[in-house]
Amino acid sequence: MANSKKGKHLDPDTLEKEARVLSLRRLGVTFDHIAQQLGYASGSGAYNAYRRACLKIIYEEVEETRKMEMDRLDNAQMRIMQAVNQGDIPAINTLLRIMDRRAKLLGLDMPVKSQVEVTTYDTGTIDSEVARLIRLLGSTDSETRSLDAPPSTS
């Protein structure tokens, strides 16, 4: 029985082709060129293969790389723990850097809170202020007016 599109069995040829699409795209090749090289009808076909590859291949690679990096961090930490336990300050600093890297890798740190202040201007207010300034600049009154003065209510 042939595999359905929604089936869980993956065709090795399709996986290989999607991996090639991903590899070419990482090199900066356009989807149109990928389509020509790999036999897709159009750039959109190559793009769809790329998206499928991202969903399948990238996640697996990221998880595998994350596990490998965690193993390396564990190994490094294990090697310096005797010095840390003896109070060696450089070893303690190294341990803190390892712990920081592990927290970043696993997403353990709390998100940084930011306070953003937004100022909005009503275009009617801006237009009327520009018109007031133009009137002041073009005024022929003998008295001197300050541009900083609030608009008169007369």
pLDDT of residue 5: 45
pLDDT of residue 2: 42
Q: Is the dihedral of CA 11, 27, 64, 53 positive or negative?
A: negative
pLDDT of residue 22: 87
Domain residue ranges in the chain: 12-106
pLDDT of residue 146: 59
pTM above 0.75, yes or no: no
SS3 letters across 86-148: CCCHHHHHHHHHHHHHHHHHHCCCCCCCCCCCCCCCCHHHHHHHHHHHHHHHCCCCCCCCCCC
pLDDT (tens digit, 0 to 9) for every residue of the chain, 154 residues total?
344 444 456 788 888 898 899 889 988 999 999 999 999 999 999 999 998 888 876 667 778 888 999 999 999 999 999 999 999 999 999 999 999 999 998 888 877 788 888 877 666 777 788 888 888 888 665 555 555 666 555 5
pLDDT of residue 7: 45
pLDDT of residue 36: 95
